[in-house]
Amino acid sequence: MLPNVLQPNATDHVPVLAEEVREALAVRPGETVVDATFGSGGHAGLLGADLQGRGRLIAIDQDPAVKPYYERFRSHAGGIQTRLLRGNFSTVLQQLASNGVEADAILLDIGVSSMQLDRPERGFSYAADAPLDMRMDPSAEVSARELVNELDEGELQTIFRRYGEERYAKQIARAIVRRRRERPFERTGDLVDTIRAAIPAPARFGEGHPAKRVFQALRIAVNDELRSLEEALPAALEMLRPGGRLCVISFHSLEDRIVKTFLREGERGCICPPDFPVCVCGHEPVLRALQRRPVRPSADEVAANPRASSARLRAAVRA
């Protein structure tokens, strides 16, 4: 039984695919674990318990709001050595790798947490009227407000279509530009109203909230999430000891595609041209994927935590 204090409280972010993460990372006492997206510490609490009082857990997060969660985790972590590193996970992982830090298990839980979604003042949610922000690191220079008010129509359309797969990207971008000529966007409610008015009436009452895809796209763009993931994966691989495990949870098809491609490239052996009669490259696989298809949450988990519905877990072992 896990120590109660290391389990997430009912009011905290519920860790997605918790048992699947524990199984994939298979943390053992004495190992070094990196939770590169600490959040409110849900996964870290579970992985820390598996260390059984011996080992080290490095927590990474760019959001200063994680500090009280980390302090709670640290105060009840037993004999585990813990450390919190503030910053974007891609930057911090690259710094750790360049300094020769090694790990046995690394977790990346990509996306926004309930800790951020449930605080209206952060501006992530379309369900509450709040300042238009969406920065995971509040000290970052560019917020959603700047993007919505300063990008031209074509740039907005590209963001909505690429990161949100929004079918009405053109209409919404045009409506935003028209509306901001009157006054700039300041609040999420203004943006939601503009989106709702820009799309055909039947789409306003379709599956999901009409602003969901635009808000997702803006969040990804504000926080440069795809580039961060692309840069974090090689750094995580460099840190892993032979036999070390990497686990990535994504919530968007673009993120999952990046992870899938990275793991496939890591599994490749010979990279000689196909017309070479024998291998001369000597290239060896550096990863072994633990499953061919992503692991999805069970129906029971989705019923208990609807935000888990789009989660996809991929995991691999360092050769």
pLDDT in tens, 77-110: 888 999 999 999 999 999 999 999 999 999 999 9
Q: Over the stretch 39-61, which tens digit does the pLDDT of each residue have?
A: 999 999 999 999 999 999 999 99
Quick one: pLDDT at residue 120?
A: 76
Domain presence at residue 152: yes
Instruction: Say if residue 206 is in the same domain as residue 250.
Output: no
Domain presence at residue 130: no
Quick one: pLDDT at residue 278?
A: 78
Q: For the chain, what is the HEC assignment?
A: CCCHHHCCCCCCCCCCCHHHHHHHHCCCCCCEEEECCCCCCHHHHHHHHHCCCCCEEEEEECCHHHHHHHHHHHHCCCCCEEEEEECCHHHHHHHHHHCCCCEEEEEEECCCCHHHHCCHHHCCCCCCCCECCCCCCCCCCCCHHHHHHHCCHHHHHHHHHHHHCCCCHHHHHHHHHHHHHHCCCCEHHHHHHHHHHHCCHHHHCCCCCCCHHHHHHHHHHHCCHHHHHHHHHHHHHHHEEEEEEEEEEECCHHHHHHHHHHHHHHHCCCCCCCCCCCCCCCCCCCEEECCCCCECCCHHHHHHCHHHCCCEEEEEEEC
Instruction: Say if residue 106 is in the same domain as residue 205.
Output: no
Instruction: Say if residue 13 is in the same domain as residue 109.
Output: yes
Instruction: Say if residue 12 is in the same domain as residue 85.
Output: yes
Quick one: pLDDT at residue 145?
A: 97
Instruction: Say if residue 17 is in the same domain as residue 92.
Output: yes
Q: What is the CATH number of the domain that holds 59?
A: 3.40.50.150
Domain presence at residue 218: yes
Instruction: Say if residue 146 is in the same domain as residue 61.
Output: no
Instruction: Say if residue 213 is in the same domain as residue 235.
Output: no
pTM of the model: 0.90
Q: Residue 153: which domain range?
A: 141-222
- At which of 159, 193, 222 does a domain end? 222
Point out the residues of the chain with pLDDT beneath 70: 1-13, 114-115, 206
Instruction: Say if residue 109 is in the same domain as residue 11.
Output: yes
Instruction: Say if residue 10 is in the same domain as residue 87.
Output: yes
Domain presence at residue 210: yes
Instruction: Say if residue 282 is in the same domain as residue 264.
Output: yes
Quick one: pLDDT at residue 271?
A: 75
Domain presence at residue 136: no
Quick one: pLDDT at residue 280?
A: 75
